[in-house]
């Protein structure tokens, strides 16, 4: 449906987007993920036609949108700050897009009612938007974006400012609405959990390029490089020097570690970074190739598990693990890692792996 | 719903505005008569029926442009002399006459009506500027005050320096007020260029109050006006007492004020009219000047502009006969002398009186 | 290249500047240059060396001195006034707000009469003090003092501070105040460290406008200050109209314009680039009744101050227009006072058959027609300029001062310039009706721009983007988003344009047609002749002017521009 091709944009002389390309298919929710300042919102505005790219083009069903102004693209956009019109009430805000399409009054009323029902805010119809709470504003903004029946829905950090429970609840509602309306959507966020919850596919934007794309679980299992692993907070990242290539053995502050590589293993003597996922630590570790011992300095109960922080090698490294059993603060603890669970990662900036 | 109403109100404003603009746009007249333009100052006034008489007689329409006070109007006439905005300019007086003549804003016109005008008013021998009216700048006094305080009314300029009258006179700054300038010139005519400043110094020592303009002097400081100020003597016009009667709140038999008409206490101002150089309608302009000097116009002058007609055949209204005291020996100065020295006199006056 | 330039901020700004700049160039700079060009031409024989420098230096020094003092005093009254109107509701608030706007429109002759009735030698205050303390002479010497100039300037200009600052203040985001308080700032600290810095641009803008008004003050200095004081503007008047020294007058005018330019540039430097407000204008300061004891005391004191300073002279004027004095011959001490409508009735009678007589209704109608045209012109141009100023481009620093310059042009210079430049068809045919509102627009435009520009900067871009994404064309976005959100500022602008046009006198005397006088011109006709009736009619006409202005303001506020109910 939507094809974004080689989009380029600079900001104050520095490149912001560098040949960004991707596609969005019918009935698909794509999540655009990236740290703040990575140009996500700019990219959305370019797709919406609110800003002009310096290079590249946007296509809808193969037709270039270069000459189509924002108000004729029929893309819905939901803003980070909601951008509700303060001089209009809830109904008028939702009706705005329909009025722009010159929809008949009766039809507008019907569709606004529908939209209000969808977001479960029927009793709020005549309220001033300035009197709404954050969550209510968010829902009105969503209803407003959806009411004119857009061909594509874009959401810019829609849950950003809300509290956790509300976020989960609204995220569920969003999933339901996106499923029901079957509208293709681009969802911008910097929060990976939100992205996991919403997205059919993730695009990770970094340094002006799509660093990695794919289904949520591939990011978990196969982060493209150290930066991706760090951004997703996948686990402990420990640097070391390769001393053996096959099987891979790396000299680290934790000692000599046996690891596995997704891609080509680095050469002997090279620096590499190893990823230890906290959840893959084994309290009981007879068969594990790697053993890591440290002093327990912190412990947090997280419901199912305990998140334990180890100080290894006299504070040369800190190490997080998730275990089912509590440990004793101050005591030494040894955990085991299978070699296949320790992942060696490509360097940051090394995008080809 | 509210949206629609709001848009309607904007529309209403717009329509109203367009209507207003079109309402004040000139209506195209059919069979337009020739238009004579007469430029004058703000104090120019005339009766409708008098002008109608002229318009009917000659089949023209007279359009007046009143542009500011005497100085402003003359300035405009001078600045636009290459391409004048009118045919006739009325309102230059003897204090500014030389400037107007030097700038050559007028063309000469030997009106046949001049025969009726006494020679004393014909200051311009070449008749570029023709006299129309005259008036005196005099000191007015508040009759009630002098009666109440049992004071004799001052009779001469010299009397005003008497300690008896300390703090009783309000005059205007000659730099910002034309009656102020006229009164200063009366003192120059009386005491001479060399000595008039001594007189003013004596006046200042005797508690002279100076304000910027006639309005303030008359309505704020003068006790004889409705403003009820503290000074019973004010530099104003010889005709002011008559105006007090005509514009009284309640009918008065006697004017509440009078003018001091001793020798040289009043300065005579004569107002002139002329045909503007490069005028579009010089023929109409000449006709209009003849008309201005004729009896009907001249008789209308006193009650409209509170000055005297120069044509002795014009009858004065009753109020003027009863309430205006005309000086036998008004002060005058040759226009050339005024023009040459005005600035020095004023500067010297400012230094003496204000500093 | 052209494409790219057209879309750059400079290109967009220039596009918006096009019409306003053409308007200013044609109607302001052209006549001014024509006048100066004529006056410094050899024909006029200007001898720069012969100019007496004290004639320039003395008024210049005095002008700066009095303008600075007057402006400071106006701030002292106006800022608490702005606070009062922003924060509190109290009975009669709307009335007081309209009343405080009225001084702005009144001709100085009438204001002088008002102050005279209140503070003059026989004014009520002096009579009261003389009665109470058994004094022989009036204790208060007001007229012809420096204090009178300062008081009158405060009287005239306080409304500018109140309107401009309170307009910005009420748009401040209350959350920022809350944030400061939560961070431990006392209300006073919050005011000093959050409110005040955020208000700085609008306070500076208002101060700057007031300063310029004081800088070019004419009538107040002449009539209330008396002959001992002369500003540059007064000196221009003296030179041009009483000494017929037009070259010196124009040199003084040029100096005044140059100072205006410097002041404008200084203001631009001081205020710097306005920061965009990040939050939408949702959480505005709530208006409430004064709560605590001290708040009540301060509010009451403020209301009393504003009343006695701004309203009392007006009230004494109005009262005086209904009072007749029946003097018994020879016994002036026993004046019978009584109420009368005679002055008002007399306004409607053309007793002398004067050709130029105009019934008060017609004068009011003229004034309103001119005011309406002025409003339309200034709003149209003001909006364009506000959009131009929104663009981040250096071109604005250049063009903005040129827009402010008409504020510093003396009415005499402008009037004479108009006469020279437009002394030709089509202006000679219908020039008076149209040139007058144009002259008023030149004076009003700086106010309108200073009001609209910050309001426009306050509208978050995201609202426009939202409307665009929802399918609104750029024009539609303007109509649906910008215009309603600008409504309060447009309202203030309209009131400024209305009051400036209704009250303008200087340029009006030049440009008005005798058969279409405005109210101030008609007032002046009466007060320039002796006689109790004339004086009474001038006051009656002034009262009508005030009523007309108040009615105009009320109508404007009532009409309810789109989105008004929100504010």
CA distance B298 to B133: 8
Is C57's pLDDT higher than 70?
A: yes
CB atoms within 10 A of CB A55: 13
CA distance C336 to C323: 10
What are φ and ψ of residue C406, in 5° steps?
Answer: -55, -25
Indicate the CATH number for domain B34-134+269-323.
Answer: 3.40.190.10
pLDDT, one tens digit per residue, over B304-353 is 888 999 999 999 998 888 888 888 889 999 999 998 898 899 989 988 99
Q: Encode burial over A77-100: b for 16+ CB neighbours within 10 A, e otherwise.
A: bbbbbbbbbbbbbbbbbbbbbbbb
User: Would an 8 Å CB–CB cutoff place C460 in contact with chain B?
Assistant: no
CA distance A15 to A111: 42
Q: Which residues from chain C sit within 8 angstroms of residue B170, using beta carbons?
A: none
Mean pLDDT computed over C455-480: 88
Q: Is A47 helix (H, G, I), strand (E, B) or coil?
A: helix
* pLDDT bracket for residue C77 (50, 70, 90): very high
Q: Which residues from chain C sit within 8 angstroms of residue B64, using beta carbons?
A: 355-356, 514-515
Domain range annotation of chain A = 2-226, 232-345
Look at A77-86, C15-24, C508-517 and tell me which has the smallest mean pLDDT: C508-517
Q: Evaluate whether A42 touches A11 at the Cβ level (below 8 Å).
A: yes
Is C462's pLDDT higher than 50?
A: yes
Nearest residue in chain B measured CA to CA from C245: B343
Q: Encode burial over A201-231: b for 16+ CB neighbours within 10 A, e otherwise.
A: bbbbbbbbbbbbbeebeebeebbbbbbbbbb
Mean pLDDT for chain B overall = 86
pLDDT at residue B90 in the model: 95
CA C508 to chain CA centroid, nearest Å: 15
Mutation target vs B (from C528, C530, C531; most B CBs, 10 A cutoff)? C530
**Matching residue, tokens 């020097």:** A241
pLDDT at residue C48 in the model: 65
C509–B10: do the CB atoms touch at under 8 Å? Answer: no
CA distance C372 to B69: 28
Q: Which residues from chain C sit within 8 angstroms of residue B83, using beta carbons?
A: 423-424
Domain range annotation of chain B = 34-134+269-323, 136-267+331-354
Q: What is the pTM assigned to this prediction?
A: 0.80
Which residues in chain C (410-469) have CB-CB distances under 8 A to chain A? 460, 462-463, 465-469
pLDDT, one tens digit per residue, over B162-205 is 999 999 999 999 988 889 999 999 999 999 999 999 999 999 99
Mode of pairing for the β-strands spanning A2-11 and A209-214 = unpaired
Q: Do domains C51-320 and C364-567 have the same CATH topology?
A: yes
User: How is residue A111 written in tokens?
Assistant: 């569709």
Q: Which residues from chain B sit within 8 angstroms of residue C383, using beta carbons?
A: none
- For A233-270, strand residue ranges (E) read 236-244, 248-252, 255-261
- Range B162-166 contact pairs with CB under 8 angstroms and sequence separation of 24 or more: B162/B206, B163/B206, B165/B206, B165/B233, B166/B206, B166/B207
Which residues in chain B (211-270) have CB-CB distances under 8 A to chain C? 211-216, 218-221, 223, 225-230, 236-237, 240, 243-244, 246-250, 254, 256
CA distance C77 to C70: 11
pLDDT, one tens digit per residue, over A158-183 is 887 677 787 888 888 888 888 888 88
User: How is residue A91 written in tokens?
Assistant: 């109904």
* pLDDT bracket for residue C25 (50, 70, 90): very high
pLDDT at residue B28 in the model: 43
Rama region for B99: left / alpha / beta (φ>0; ψ in -120 to 50; rest): alpha
Domain range annotation of chain C = 51-320, 364-567
Q: Encode burial over C300-338: b for 16+ CB neighbours within 10 A, e otherwise.
A: eebbeebeebbbbbbbbbbebbbbbbebeeeebeeeeee
pLDDT at residue C335 in the model: 55
| CATH architecture label of B136-267+331-354 | 3-Layer(aba) Sandwich (3.40)
Is C301's pLDDT higher than 80?
A: yes
User: How is residue B199 written in tokens?
Assistant: 């007189």
What are φ and ψ of residue A240, in 5° steps?
Answer: -165, 180
In CATH terms, the fold of domain C364-567 is MetI-like fold (1.10.3720)
User: How is residue B300 written in tokens?
Assistant: 């209308």
**Matching residue, tokens 């009323």:** A109
More confident residue, A243 or C4: A243
Indicate the CATH number for domain C51-320.
Answer: 1.10.3720.10
| CATH architecture label of A2-226 | 3-Layer(aba) Sandwich (3.40)
Mutation target vs C (from B16, B39, B40, B42; most C CBs, 10 A cutoff)? B42
**Matching residue, tokens 């442009």:** B65
Which residues in chain B (122-161) have CB-CB distances under 8 A to chain C? 142-145, 147-148
- Quick one: three-class SS letters along B165-198? HCCCEEEECCCCCHHHHHHHHHHHHHHCCCCHHH
The alpha-helical segments, DSSP class H, found in A182-289 are 192-198, 216-221, 226-231
pLDDT at residue C207 in the model: 92
CA distance C355 to B64: 10
Radius of gyration of chain A (CA): 24
Mean pLDDT computed over C407-414: 82
Closest-CA residue to B178 (of B127, B213, B229, B219): B213
CA distance A263 to A272: 12
* B212 → closest Cβ in C222, C335, C373: C222
More confident residue, C289 or C241: C289
- Quick one: three-class SS letters along C530-554? CCHHHHHHHHHHHHHHHHHHHHHHH
Which residues in chain C (120-159) have CB-CB distances under 8 A to chain B? 120-122, 138, 143-144
Q: Evaluate whether C369 touches B24 at the Cβ level (below 8 Å).
A: yes
Q: Evaluate whether B129 touches B273 at the Cβ level (below 8 Å).
A: yes
pLDDT at residue B11 in the model: 47
Q: Is A22 helix (H, G, I), strand (E, B) or coil?
A: strand
Which residues in chain C (249-308) have CB-CB distances under 8 A to chain B? none
Is B30's pLDDT higher than 60?
A: no
């Amino acid at each position: 449906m939507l094809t974004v091709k080689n989009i380029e944009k600079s900001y104050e002389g520095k490149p912001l987007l560098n040949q960004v390309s991707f596609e969005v298919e019918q009935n698909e929710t794509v999540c655009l993920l990236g740290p703040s300042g990575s140009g996500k919102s700019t990219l959305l505005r370019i797709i919406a036609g609110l800003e002009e790219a310096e290079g590249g083009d946007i296509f809808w069903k193969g037709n270039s949108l270069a000459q189509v102004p924002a108000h004729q693209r029929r893309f819905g956009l939901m803003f980070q700050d909601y951008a509700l019109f303060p001089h209009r009430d809830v109904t008028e805000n939702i009706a705005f897009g329909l009025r722009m399409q010159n929809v008949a009054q009766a039809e507008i009323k019907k569709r606004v009612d529908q939209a209000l029902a969808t977001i479960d805010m029927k009793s709020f119809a005549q309220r001033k938007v300035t009197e709404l709470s954050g969550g209510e504003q968010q829902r009105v903004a969503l209803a407003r974006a959806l009411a004119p029946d857009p061909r594509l829905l874009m959401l810019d950090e829609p849950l950003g400012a809300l509290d956790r429970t509300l976020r989960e609840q609204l995220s569920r509602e969003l999933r339901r609405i996106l499923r029901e309306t079957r509208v293709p959507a681009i969802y911008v966020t910097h929060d990976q959990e939100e992205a996991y919850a919403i997205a059919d596919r993730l695009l990770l934007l970094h340094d002006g390029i799509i660093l990695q794309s794919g289904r949520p679980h591939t990011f978990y299992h196969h982060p493209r490089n150290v930066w991706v692993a760090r951004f997703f907070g996948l686990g402990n990242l420990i640097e070391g020097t390769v001393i053996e290539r096959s099987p891979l053995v790396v000299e680290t502050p934790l000692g000599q570690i046996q690891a596995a590589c997704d891609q080509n293993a680095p050469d002997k003597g090279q620096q590499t970074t190893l990823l230890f996922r906290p959840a893959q630590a084994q309290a009981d570790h007879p068969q594990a190739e790697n053993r890591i011992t440290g002093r327990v300095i912190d412990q947090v109960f997280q419901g199912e598990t305990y998140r334990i922080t180890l100080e290894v090698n006299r504070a040369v490294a800190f190490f997080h693990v998730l275990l089912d059993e509590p440990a004793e603060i101050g005591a030494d603890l040894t955990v085991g890692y299978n070699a296949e669970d320790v992942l060696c990662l490509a360097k940051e900036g090394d995008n080809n792996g | 719903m509210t949206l629609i109403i709001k848009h309607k109100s904007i529309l209403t404003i717009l329509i109203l505005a367009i209507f207003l603009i079109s309402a004040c746009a000139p209506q195209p007249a059919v069979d337009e008569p020739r238009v004579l333009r007469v430029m004058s100052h703000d104090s120019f006034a005339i009766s409708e029926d008098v002008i109608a008489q002229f318009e009917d007689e000659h089949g023209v329409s007279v359009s007046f442009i009143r542009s500011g006070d005497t100085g402003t109007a003359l300035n405009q006439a001078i600045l636009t002399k290459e391409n004048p905005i009118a045919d006739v300019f009325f309102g230059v007086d003897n204090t500014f006459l030389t400037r107007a003549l030097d700038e050559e804003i007028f063309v000469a016109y030997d009106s046949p009506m001049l025969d009726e005008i006494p020679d004393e008013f014909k200051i311009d021998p070449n008749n570029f500027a023709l006299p129309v009216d005259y008036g005196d700048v005099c000191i007015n006094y508040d009759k009630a005050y002098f009666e109440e305080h049992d004071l004799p009314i001052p009779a001469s300029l010299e009397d005003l320096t008497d300690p008896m009258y300390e703090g009783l006179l309000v005059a205007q700054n000659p730099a910002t007020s034309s009656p102020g300038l006229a009164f200063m010139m009366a003192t120059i005519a009386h005491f001479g260029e060399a000595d008039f400043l001594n007189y003013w110094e004596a006046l200042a020592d005797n508690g002279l109050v100076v304000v910027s303009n006639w309005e303030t002097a008359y309505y704020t400081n003068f006790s004889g006006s409705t403003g009820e100020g503290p000074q019973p003597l004010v530099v104003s016009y010889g005709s002011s007492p008559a105006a007090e009667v005509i514009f009284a709140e309640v009918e008065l038999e006697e004017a509440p004020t009078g003018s001091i008409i001793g020798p040289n206490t009043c300065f005579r101002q004569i107002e002139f009219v002329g045909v503007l150089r490069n005028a579009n309608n010089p023929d109409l302009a000449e006709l209009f000047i003849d008309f201005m000097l004729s009896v009907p116009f001249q008789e209308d002058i006193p009650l409209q502009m509170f000055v005297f007609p120069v044509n002795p055949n014009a009858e004065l209204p009753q109020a003027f006969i009863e309430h205006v005291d005309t000086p036998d020996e008004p002060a005058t100065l040759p226009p050339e002398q005024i023009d040459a020295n005005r600035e020095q006199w004023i500067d010297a006056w400012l230094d003496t009186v204000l500093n | 290249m052209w494409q790219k330039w057209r879309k750059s901020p400079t290109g967009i700004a220039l596009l918006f500047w096009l019409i306003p700049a053409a308007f200013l160039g044609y109607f302001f700079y052209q006549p001014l240059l024509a006048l100066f060009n004529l006056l410094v031409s050899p024909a006029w024989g200007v001898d720069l060396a012969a100019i007496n420098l004290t004639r320039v230096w003395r008024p210049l020094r005095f002008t700066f001195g009095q303008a600075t003092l007057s402006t400071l005093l106006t701030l002292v009254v106006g800022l608490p006034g702005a606070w009062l109107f922003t924060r509190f509701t109290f009975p009669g608030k709307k009335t007081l707000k309209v009343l405080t706007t009225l001084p702005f429109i009144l001709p100085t002759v009438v204001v002088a009469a008002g102050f005279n009735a209140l503070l003059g030698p026989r004014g009520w205050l002096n009579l009261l003090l003389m009665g109470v303390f058994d004094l022989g002479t009036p204790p208060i010497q007001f007229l012809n003092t420096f204090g009178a100039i300062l008081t009158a300037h405060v009287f005239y200009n306080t409304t500018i501070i109140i309107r401009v600052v309170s307009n910005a203040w009420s748009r401040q985001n209350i959350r920022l105040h809350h944030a400061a308080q939560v961070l431990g700032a006392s209300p006073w600290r919050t005011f000093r460290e959050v409110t005040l810095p955020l208000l700085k641009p609008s306070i500076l803008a208002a101060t700057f406008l007031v300063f310029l008004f004081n800088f070019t003050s004419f009538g107040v200095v002449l009539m209330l200050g008396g002959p001992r004081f002369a500003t540059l503007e007064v000196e221009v008047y003296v030179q041009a109209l009483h000494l017929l020294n037009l070259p010196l007058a124009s040199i003084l005018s040029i100096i005044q314009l140059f100072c205006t330019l410097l002041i404008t540039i200084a203001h631009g430097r001081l205020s710097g680039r306005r920061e965009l407000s990040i939050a939408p204008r949702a959480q505005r300061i709530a208006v409430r009744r004064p709560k605590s004891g001290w708040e009540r005391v301060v509010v009451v004191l403020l209301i009393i101050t504003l009343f006695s300073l701004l309203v009392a002279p007006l009230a004494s004027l109005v009262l005086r227009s209904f009072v007749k004095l029946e003097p018994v011959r020879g016994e002036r001490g026993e004046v019978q006072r009584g109420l009368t409508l005679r002055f008002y009735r007399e306004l409607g009678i053309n007793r002398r058959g004067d050709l130029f007589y105009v019934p008060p209704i017609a004068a009011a109608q003229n004034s309103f027609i001119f005011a309406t045209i002025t409003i339309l012109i200034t709003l149209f141009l003001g909006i364009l300029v506000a959009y131009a100023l929104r663009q981040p481009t250096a071109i604005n620093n250049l063009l903005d001062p040129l827009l402010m310059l008409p504020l510093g042009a003396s009415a005499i210079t402008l009037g004479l310039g108009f006469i020279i430049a437009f002394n030709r068809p089509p202006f000679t045919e219908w020039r008076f009706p149209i040139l007058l509102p144009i002259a008023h627009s030149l004076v009003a435009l700086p106010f309108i721009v200073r009001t609209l520009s910050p309001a426009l900067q306050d509208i978050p871009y995201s609202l426009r983007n939202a409307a665009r994404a929802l399918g609104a064309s750029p024009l539609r976005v303007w109509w649906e988003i910008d215009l309603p959100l600008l409504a309060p500022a447009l309202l203030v602008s309209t009131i400024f344009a209305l009051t400036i046009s209704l009250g303008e006198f200087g340029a009006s005397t030049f440009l008005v047609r005798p058969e279409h006088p405005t109210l101030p011109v008609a007032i002046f006709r009466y007060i320039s002749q002796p006689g109790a009736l004339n004086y009474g009619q001038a006051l009656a006409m002034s009262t009508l002017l005030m009523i007309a202005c108040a009615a105009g303001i009320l109508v404007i506020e009532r009409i309810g521009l789109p989105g008004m109910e929100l504010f």
